[in-house]
Structure 1
Amino acid sequence: MGSKRRSFSNPSSIADQNIDKKLRDAIDNDNYTISDNPILKDIKDDPSKIKAMTIQQLRTALRTAGIPPKGLKRELVSALQSYLAKEIDGESSLLADKQDPSNSDKRISMMMETKSVEDQVQDANSFSKVSEVQQSRRTVKQLQIKGKMVDVNAKIVATEQKKSACASGRMTSLTKKKASSDVDSKYVSAKNRVTLPVNQSEPWTILAHKKPQKGWIAYNPRTMRRSLPIENTKFVKILSWNVNGLRALLKLEGFSAMELAKQENFDVLCLQETKLQEKDVESIKQSLIEGYENSFWTCSNTRLGYSGTAIISRIKPLAVRYGLGISDHDSEGRVVTAEFDSFYLLSVYVPNSGDGLRRLAYRITEWDPSLGNYIKELEKSKPVILTGDLNCAHEEIDIYNPAGNRRSAGFTIEERQSFSTNFLSRGFVDTFRKQNPDVVGYTYWGYRHGARKGNKGWRLDYFLVSEAIADDVHDSFILPDVIGSDHCPIGLVLKL
């Protein structure tokens, strides 16, 4: 007769037949120990039995302990021995914690070290649940890290609306945020540089591009904007914004023109796509910001409530012109020019090539050359600052998805070449790109498909300046946190 051997059943059979209610309750609460488990208790009392166990018995024991039973027999033996050693040490440590509370912090640290990376990702995601915020769910594939344990830190910061002073070169967001529900950033990072962003309330600070090049970084106005020039330095600060309908913007809950002026303290504000009619201008003037008494508007005469540009200034200009002086181009209210002491300033809304590129030929053969000629003529008497929605993402760095928009209005090769030919090649400098050659910063996001939330945008808005004053540009910046339109404002600080 053979000697009697202990029978090892599968875990579910043991749970159903051999474990009493107390043990089942302990398992349900995830707080049972080896002493509660009849299978593991036997080999704990006599670890030498492990090597004599069959592969099936080893796998059953590992399953009972919650460990995936994978590998050859020697690997199963090693896994079970390691588990028992850790559990025995853990039980003694827990007893020590009860006697000396100071040990608890050390114990937590040890437990964190033994957790797998994927477990800690789950911990971080569970802990970071905040009401009313849609968390992006990410499937975290199992990360196999050889060698020593990896410390993993879960950094979870609940944010309130960020406030900063203009003097420090930063902008207070005009977006109404629920402080209790916004998560600024959550990362689960390992020493091997594994970084898993979970959520971000400032999407523009994350590099978003379909095909980013080496060295490209995301534009962050809170760190990249320059502080204002030192005292006793004369300068002018200009903001430009395609508002996509001024009346709608002024009615928007949460938007305050006064707050924008207070925070940015600009001298001149240029607007595009105001969509005003001539009859609306006077009433709009009455609601303007106090201190900005000088305002100049042009509206479309052919299509009511379409296009339109403006310049609003607390500095009185020497003279103002409307249009390019060419009747074929001046019926849609696309250009206002103000002459100041040391420069000309243009607020421009360049025609969109339209669906099916129906206006592409007009755009590149008539409009762009005429605008280029106009500003070169102005430049004969003093430098020129051209700002506004130029409806062209000039380079691949200026658009989230270049490959998918080769024949989209604003990124055709014809428009991009025209931009170079009529403006850049004729001595005008793209101030933002000159200051930030490798920075991805967008100024326009379509309303569909959550483009702004995912920072899937275009850079269509510019400050172009004459080469003669390019080195006097102190800062050229973007304000991506200012909402109210599908575009955001851009700014320029020019030393005089």
Structure 2
Amino acid sequence: MGSRKRASDSALRKSTDSGQPEKCMEAEAKSSDGIKTLRNDPGRLEAMTVRELRAVMKDAGISAKDKSASQTCLEVATETLVPEASVPAISEEPWTRLAHKKPQPGWVPYNPKTMRPPHLPDGTKYVKLMSWNVNGLRALLKVEGFSVLELAKRRTLMFCVCKKRKCRQEKDVEEIKKRLIEGYDNSFWTCSVSKLGYSGTAIISRIKPISVSYGLGIQDHDSEGRLVTVEFDKFYVLCGYVPNSGDGLKRLTYRITQWDPSLSSYMKDLEKSKPVILTGDLNCAYEEIDIYNPAGNRRSAGFTIEERESFQKNFLSRGFVDTFRSQHPGVVGYTYWGYRHGGRKTNKGWRLDYFLVSESIAGKVHDSYILPDVVGSDHCPIGLILKL
């Protein structure tokens, strides 16, 4: 995004409190200082009433018209709490350093602060999607001091969620629904029924879809909550969580001979009527550039030659485009870092999370990006901006 200075787009990297909008609404009036004096002073900000916050916005030339109380608090927070990053600060972030056991000439590290394109011109129609493999449903409510769902407030049409554990069926789902942010009234969830708490997927959307379906329509595949499909006017969006081949590669055969071909065929069937977007944890580092230590993981789940060949055969060779790699050839960017060895601190990771799109809309992709600085899971969020 070049040196993107719009605080509203970088706020999620500096957000300080998951309850900030509610606290803003409840706090007593203590200050009417302008935005400049509030910069980096979250305590004072949280103690202001909504009326005062709207006055601050007006003084700063920020429109508060038709904004709800929570939106007002968010706007002021994103304008005040996000100092522009200095060059030294950027260079200290681990993902800005090339981390790879055997880097090739020309490879560079992915830096979301310098590699994202400029904003689209005013009036351009587009949609923005985000996807994140979180550690559990409760991670949606509060992670490292801020609400994960604040991510969706970045003018995002849809937030896709993969849940690798702690999906305890209706109890957790209903709790989440009660606390969905304003404007995201459409949420669709599926959890594993064959093994409770094992896995699940969800889509949270601002716009009501035309239709919603769960799974692939094949009984053997649909008991683990691994797929949600929503249909919109111009495309389908699939939030998928591809089975991990597991310790000892116990599920490798199932994955490459059953799941991958079935998912691919399902996507091609949908594509007969409109383009398809698949996002989520696809559990495959497709190329050597997508994993820190390729030589040491030849027989590790997610990087076996069988999985990589299956990924090529069932998705890339059938006309689905890896949007990040298409936009960033030769760029090392990871979306997963194991907890065990502190891989995130050294950027020793894997790229397992994707946006795959039909070739017919690949040319409309404006930005396919990774947010490596968002913590709270061993995966980080990814995003897609698609021109309409």
Q: Report the TM-score when normalising by structure 1.
A: 0.61
Distance in 2, Cα, partners of 1:389 & 1:474: 21
Task: Name 1:272's counterpart in structure 2.
Answer: 162
Deviation at 1:330, TM superposition (A): 0.1
2:109 maps to amino acid: A
Deviation at 1:354, TM superposition (A): 0.1
Q: Retained in 2: the 8 A contact 1:246–1:274?
A: no
Q: Residue 341 of structure 2: SS of its match in structure 1? A: helix
What RMSD over aligned residues (CA atoms) do the two structures have, in Å? 2.3
Larger radius of gyration: 1
Deviation at 1:269, TM superposition (A): 0.3
Q: Which runs of 4+ in 1 moved over 3 A?
A: 169-172, 174-177, 183-187
Deviation at 1:226, TM superposition (A): 1.8
Of residues 272, 276, 286, the one that matches 1:394 is 286
Q: Deviations over 1:323-368 (max 9, x none)?
A: 0000000000000000000000000000000000000000000000
Task: Name 1:238's counterpart in structure 2.
Answer: 129
Of residues 347, 351, 355, the one that matches 2:239 is 347
Q: Deviations over 1:371-412 (max 9, x none)?
A: 000000000000000000000000000000000000000000
Task: Name 1:165's counterpart in structure 2.
Answer: 6
Distance in 2, Cα, partners of 1:377 & 1:398: 29
Of residues 199, 220, 232, the one that matches 2:111 is 220
Aligned pairs (5 A) from 1:37-436:
164-165=5-6, 170=10, 172-174=12-14, 201-262=92-153, 264-273=154-163, 275=165, 276-279=167-170, 280-436=172-328
Deviation at 1:255, TM superposition (A): 2.1
Task: Name 2:351's counterpart in structure 1.
Answer: 459
2:156 maps to amino acid: F
Q: Retained in 2: the 8 A contact 1:163–1:171?
A: no
Q: Report the TM-score when normalising by structure 2.
A: 0.78
Distance in 2, Cα, partners of 1:447 & 1:200: 23
Q: Residue 244 of structure 2: SS of its match in structure 1? A: coil
Q: Residue 338 of structure 1: SS of its match in structure 2? A: strand
C-alpha change, 1:365 and 1:281, in structure 2 (3 Å) is same
1:272 maps to amino acid: C
Unaligned residue ranges in structure 1 (runs of 5+): 1-161, 188-198
Q: Retained in 2: the 8 A contact 1:175–1:482?
A: no
1:165 maps to amino acid: R
Distance in 2, Cα, partners of 1:332 & 1:492: 26
Q: Deviations over 1:95-130 (max 9, x none)?
A: xxxxxxxxxxxxxxxxxxxxxxxxxxxxxxxxxxxx
How many positions carry a matched residue from both structures? 318
Task: Name 1:443's counterpart in structure 2.
Answer: 335
Task: Name 2:371's counterpart in structure 1.
Answer: 479
Q: Which has the higher contact order (CA 8 A, sep 6+)?
A: 2
Q: Retained in 2: the 8 A contact 1:294–1:312?
A: yes
Distance in 2, Cα, partners of 1:203 & 1:176: 21
C-alpha change, 1:482 and 1:405, in structure 2 (3 Å) is same
Deviation at 1:171, TM superposition (A): 5.6
Distance in 1, Cα, partners of 2:119 & 2:326: 18
